[in-house]
């Protein structure tokens, strides 16, 4: 892993290329509140255009394996980048960890379940909880693992509102289509959700670490630019920004 990281960092040494083509990033849905400002900063520093497409990690991995036109894959875990590697489409033998996600429980400020706590999941009046699809979204897997650890799987089985990805799970909770949401800290810290609700972090020992990984696509026309962006993402100033927006260092 250290050798791989060293390679990635070496790829970005020296001045950044002044690319004319647009760097195409396949980005996990939990990055939607975070990545636009980082892309803007990257473009300002490098004069390299970049754009991101957001979806669940599973959806993006499938698109890439089926020939989707991306240069860089930023997933919400390591397993989906590994599928891209297994398909022979990445230029590295392992994903590069770039962040660690946090699962939180969120509810609107006007919810009768306030003040919010983990015990809100045991409240008899609870009717609906939004979670991301565990088959498609790493945060969905984390949510289901946490419910199992807390002994709530059977109790909440009929109360789960399944979203395609973590961004949609946050929308369900924010709109009131679900009373609670098991969502990413990146979503909970957005101006919208910060103003309309409150969150509590799920116990870290209740779910496996959400270690988020990246791969550069081996035959992508923007391969060099993808390495530059990944180096940018791993830099100390950007890691600090990621932490402020809900993504810890890996």
Query: Can you give the pLDDT at residue 19?
Result: 47
Q: What pLDDT is stored for residue 11 in this prediction? A: 36
Q: Give the number of other Cβ atoms within 10 Å of residue 245's Cβ.
A: 18
Q: What distance in Å separates the CA atoms of residue 83 and residue 112, rounded to the nearest whole number?
A: 43
DSSP states of 27-48: EEGGGTTTHHHHHHHHHHHH--
Q: Domains, the chain, ranges and CATH?
A: 2-100+210-244 (3.40.190.10), 103-201 (3.40.190.10)
Low-confidence ranges of the chain (pLDDT < 70): 1-20
Residue 226 CA, chain-centre distance (Å), reads 18
187 alpha carbon, distance to own chain's centre: 10
Contacting residues for 242 by C-beta, under 8 A, at least 6 apart: 34, 38, 99, 233, 248, 249
Q: Long-range contacts made by residues 152-159, C-beta under 8 angstroms, separation at least 24? A: 152/121, 152/122, 155/122, 156/121, 156/126, 156/129, 159/126, 159/127, 159/128, 159/129
Query: Backbone dihedral region of 151: left (phi > 0), alpha (psi from -120 to 50 degrees) or beta?
Result: left
Longest CA–CA separation in the chain, Å: 59
Per-residue pLDDT, 20: 58
């Amino acid at each position: 892993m250290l050798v791989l990281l060293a390679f990635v960092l070496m790829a970005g040494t020296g001045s950044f290329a002044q690319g004319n083509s647009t760097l195409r990033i396949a980005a996990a849905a939990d990055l939607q509140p975070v990545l636009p400002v980082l892309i803007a900063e990257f473009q300002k520093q490098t004069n390299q255009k970049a754009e991101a497409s957001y979806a669940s990690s599973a959806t993006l991995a499938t698109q890439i394996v089926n020939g989707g036109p991306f240069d860089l894959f930023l997933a919400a875990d390591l397993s989906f980048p590994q599928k891209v590697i297994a398909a022979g489409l990445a230029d590295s033998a392992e994903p590069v960890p770039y962040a660690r996600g946090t699962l939180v429980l969120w509810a609107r400020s006007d919810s009768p379940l306030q003040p919010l706590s983990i015990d809100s999941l045991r409240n008899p009046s609870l009717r609906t909880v939004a979670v991301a699809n565990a088959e498609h979204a790493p945060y969905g897997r984390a949510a289901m693992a946490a419910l199992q650890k807390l002994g709530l799987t059977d109790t909440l089985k009929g109360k789960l509102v399944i979203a395609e990805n973590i961004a949609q799970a946050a929308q369900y909770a924010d709109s009131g289509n679900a009373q609670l949401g098991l969502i990413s800290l990146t979503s909970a810290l957005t101006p919208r959700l910060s103003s309309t609700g409150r969150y509590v972090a799920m116990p870290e020992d209740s779910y496996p670490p959400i270690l988020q990984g990246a791969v550069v696509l081996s035959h992508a026309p923007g391969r060099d630019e993808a390495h530059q962006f990944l180096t940018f993402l791993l830099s100390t100033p950007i890691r600090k920004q990621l932490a402020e927006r809900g993504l810890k260092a890996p």
